[in-house]
Amino acid sequence: MIVIRSQAEMRQWSREQRARGKTVGLVPTMGALHAGHASLIEASVSRDDTTVVSIFVNPAQFAPHEDYDSYPRTFQSDCETVESLGGAAVYAPTAKAMYGRDYATYIEVERLQEGLCGGTRPHFFRGVATVVTKLFNSVLPDRAYFGQKDGQQVAVIRRMVRDLDFGIEIVALPTVREKDGLALSSRNEYLSPSERARALCISRALFAARDMLEAGERDAGRIVSEVKNVMKDVEIDYAAIVDADELTPVERIEGRVMLAVAAQIGNTRLIDNIQFDPQEARASTQERARSSGA
């Protein structure tokens, strides 16, 4: 496995792969790799001829008061993880090479970048969209893999890829959770034991909501009330049910939706979400009815 540091070297490496007829998969990360990242790397390794894992803590998606400086950096063990999973290259450019002194260009995905996390982190998604574009332009992937845990990010990137004609397939994989339900996140390591215990109410709230949805509840307000009730001991940033593609709030659940929450636990901000599609739910209920009737 090789480590590539510059944009030009990355592009040349990928062009060589493609010239040999090989497909390239990209797993964009900020490092501090956990089992969620591993599931993305494994998916790419099983599907693409070569897998590039980018490791770059992107300053453009942090506000000045946020945790850019303290974000966990575990580069050596990350490289070992990528190598052990069969990745071909780690792309780890420097912040200085990525954002020069007179850097000026940003991608805005209007509307989708504004709600949910965009409310408290107004420049977050333009930072994400910009760095992902830069990674795409250097790695030249056929496919790129993202975790559904960052649900708004997936929606923003999908829209950007479609709008800007990138011709790259976006693969979103399910959130990986601890046995007790906590969604894996590099930021979980900020949590003290008592904070971690309190953080469990986030996934508990989402699972309660899923039960209501599967039982046929379609009123978004009632579900969000229950979510907020289960999360009453933490500081909720938002809890909302939105259209899964447009990210606009819905009142009644008729198409595919995302229930997304963000909460502050001490100094740590955590996000989580579930997706739900009433059509799929109806189909699987009918399937169960047919199976039990047979």
Q: Which of residues 245-284 bind its own copies (CB under 8 A)?
A: 246
Q: Nearest approach, Cβ of 294 to its own copies (angstroms)?
A: 42
- Could you say whether residue 108 binds its own copies (CB under 8 A)? yes
Two tokens, residue 15: 């062009």
Q: Report yes or no: 34 and 182 within 8 Å, Cβ to Cβ.
A: no
| Catalytic one of 34, 37, 65, 123 | 37
- Residue 54: its H or E element: strand 50-55
Residue 13: how many other CB atoms lie within 10 Å: 21
| 37 part of the active site | yes
How do strand 24-29 and strand 50-55 relate by DSSP bridges? parallel
Q: Which stretch binds its own copies (CB under 8 A): 24-32, 49-57, 98-106, 226-234?
A: 98-106
Of 159, 59, 171, nearest in space to 111 by CA: 159
Q: Nearest approach, Cβ of 273 to its own copies (angstroms)?
A: 20
How do strand 169-173 and strand 89-91 relate by DSSP bridges? unpaired
User: For residues 165 and 233, which CB has a smaller minimum distance to its own copies in the complex?
Assistant: 165
Binding mask 159-188 for its own copies (x = CB under 8 A): xx-xxxxxx---------------------
User: For residues 64 and 167, which CB has a smaller minimum distance to its own copies in the complex?
Assistant: 167
- Could you say whether residue 105 binds its own copies (CB under 8 A)? yes
Binding mask 125-164 for its own copies (x = CB under 8 A): ----xx--xx--xx--------------------xx-xxx
Which residues, including other chains, have CB under 8 Å from residue 36's CB and lie 6 or more apart?
147, 149, 175, 176, 183, 184, 185
- Phi, psi (degrees; rounded to nearest 5) at 69: -70, -35
Residues labelled as active-site residues: 37
Interface residues with its own copies (CB under 8 A) are 7-8, 11, 18-19, 100, 102-112, 129-130, 133-134, 137-138, 159-160, 162-167, 246
